[in-house]
Amino acid sequence: MKYGAPHIIDEGAVQYQLGVLKGNQVLYDFGKMLTYLDAKGKLLFGKKFKIYREDREIIYKLCLYFICDRERCSQHGIDIDKGILLSGPVGCGKTSLMKLMKHLVPHQRPYEVVPCRNIVFSFNHIGYKTIEDYGNTQFFCFDDLGVEPTGRHFGKDCNVMGEILLSRYDLFMNHKRKTHVSTNLNAQELEERYGERVRSRMRQLFNLVAFDKGSRDKRK
Q: Phi and psi (nearest 5°) for 139?
A: -100, 130
For residue 83, the cross-strand partners are 206
Query: What pLDDT score does 214 carry?
Result: 80
Third-level CATH fold of 8-210:
Rossmann fold (3.40.50)
Question: What global pTM score does this model have?
Answer: 0.93
Q: What are the residue ranges in the chain where pLDDT is below 70?
A: 1-4
Query: What pLDDT score does 204 carry?
Result: 96
The conformational region for residue 133 under phi > 0 = left, psi -120 to 50 = alpha, else beta, is: alpha
Query: What pLDDT score does 4 carry?
Result: 53
Question: What residue ranges do the domains of the chain occupy?
Answer: 8-210
Q: Strand 151-153 to strand 156-158: parallel, antiparallel, or no bridges (unpaired)?
A: antiparallel
Q: What percent of the chain has pLDDT over 90?
A: 85
Query: What pLDDT score does 2 carry?
Result: 40
Sign of the Cα pseudo-torsion (167, 69, 97, 86, in order): positive
